[in-house]
Amino acid sequence: MRPERPLVLGIETSCDETGVGIVRGEELLVDAVASSVDNHARFGGVVPEVASRAHLEEMVPTIERACREAGVELRDLDAISVTSGPGLAGSLMVGVASAKALALALGKPLYGVNHLASHVAVDIVEHGPLPEPTMALLVSGGHSSLLLVPDVTHEIHSLGSTIDDAAGEAFDKVARVLGLPFPGGPHIDKAARDGEIVIDFPRGLTTGRDMERHRFDFSFSGLKTAVSRWVQAKEAAGETVPVADVAASFQEAVVDVLTRKAVLACRENGADHLQIGGGVAANSRLRAMAQQRCDDAGIELRVPRPGLCTDNGAMVAALGAQMVLKGRNASRLDLPADSSMPVTRISA
């Protein structure tokens, strides 16, 4: 007999965040995160070996902290869920191995779940059950995807994704060009507040044949190059680079494309709800423009609070709880870590 409000612990280690969340049904009890971002800042990006080592060091303390703050014992759990892909192979292995050990020792079912599907599911603990279908725009350092989600535990259709750089990756690279720290997203967002949108940077895959062939796909490589060349030209001319204006203009170009295509996807696929998730969803301009365009189109916008947009264990626990509630099959104990797991495969 399935529990009405399953108590599920979720483990997230797809990149540089060691996340452990505990959910009871649709209620979030705790979201504990240990970040190794400071260890990567001096390299200007995530170093896989450093991230894996950090996960090894932080896994047990983070699990213990999560249980302590939630006031639960491991033996009370109904299930364990873990990100099994996609992500950095070494990082995923640490999380999957830890989850297997817990499931085996406790005699609990194990659910290996998709990282991107978890970003969709986390909104359940923030705003309640997902409308079916839901349109999801996931934007992060590794992904920019438009997903039609009839059932987050069973059926997800990919409408489009990035064909080169993801949105978050473009933020990081442009931040480096402007001399801003890593990770670039928050620093560009902050700088842009003091700038003006005075530079017309390109919007990739939004016109002509590009739009016909890649209707719901994204491309930010050309934008990144355009910003770099604009800055180089200013420096070569001996002029001061207006960092705030460049940041605002670049950010506007990214957000314009993301929201324009997301609203179009809703209209053409009969979805009256749009959810935005992933680390870039914390961007203030993205939230504002998405709200404005959704209001104009009669679409309801759902965006989790910023702390639930970045990678975290709560989102994995939320999806795990839904898997239990809907009676989905648990994973085998020999489930692999799959660094290239497609979003259409929700569980391993």
The full set of domain ranges for the chain reads 7-126+308-326, 134-303
Question: Which residues contact residue 248 at a Cβ distance below 8 angstroms, ignoring those fewer than 6 apart?
Answer: 191, 192, 193, 195, 196, 197, 198
SS3 214: coil
List, for residues 297-316, the tens digit of each pLDDT value: 999 999 999 999 999 999 99
134-303 matches 7-126+308-326 in CATH topology: yes
187 annotated ligand-binding residue: no
Q: Any binding-site annotation on 115?
A: yes
Structure tokens at 85: 């892909």
- CA dist., res. 332 & res. 335, Å (int): 6
Joined tokens for residue 344:
């259409």
Fold of 7-126+308-326: Nucleotidyltransferase; domain 5 (3.30.420)
278 is in an annotated binding site: no
3-state helix, strand, coil in the chain (%, to 5): 45, 20, 35
Is 214 assigned to a binding site? no
The reply, when asked if residue 245 is annotated as ligand binding, is no
User: 311 a known binding residue?
Assistant: yes
pLDDT in tens, 174-194: 999 999 999 999 999 999 999
Task: Check residue 14 and give its pLDDT.
Answer: 97
What's the one-letter identity of residue 246?
Answer: V
Distance CA 281, CA 261 (A): 15
Token pair, residue 311, equals 């990678």
Is 269 annotated for ligand binding?
Answer: no
What would the pLDDT profile of 49-103 be if each residue is shown by its tens digit?
999 999 999 999 999 999 999 999 999 999 999 999 999 999 999 999 999 999 9
Give the pTM: 0.95
- Return the pLDDT at 148: 98
Whole-angstrom distance, CA of residue 278 vs CA of residue 309: 5
- Tell whether residue 185 is among the known ligand binding residues: yes
The better pLDDT of the pair 142, 61 is held by 61
334 is in an annotated binding site: no
Helices (H) and strands (E) in the chain, counts: 13, 10
Strands 134-139 and 144-151: antiparallel
Ligand-binding annotation for 189, yes or no, is yes
> Contact, 93 vs 56, CB < 8 A?
no
Q: Is 139 annotated as a binding residue?
A: yes
Q: Which two tokens stand for residue 80?
A: 């364990």
Closest alpha carbon to 81 in 149, 155, 13 = 13
Q: How far apart are CA 80 and CA 64, in angstroms?
A: 15
Give the CATH architecture of domain 134-303: 2-Layer Sandwich (3.30)
Q: Of all residues in the chain, what percent carry a pLDDT higher than 70?
A: 100
In this prediction, residue 332 has a pLDDT band, given cuts at 50, 70 and 90, of: very high
Burial (CB count within 10 angstroms: exposed 0-12, middle 13-18, buried 19+), residue 110: buried
Q: CA torsion 173→178→181→186, rounded to 10°?
A: -80
* C-beta of residue 10 within 8 angstroms of C-beta of residue 23: yes
Strands 27-35 and 79-85: unpaired
Task: Answer yes or no: is 172 a known binding residue.
Answer: yes
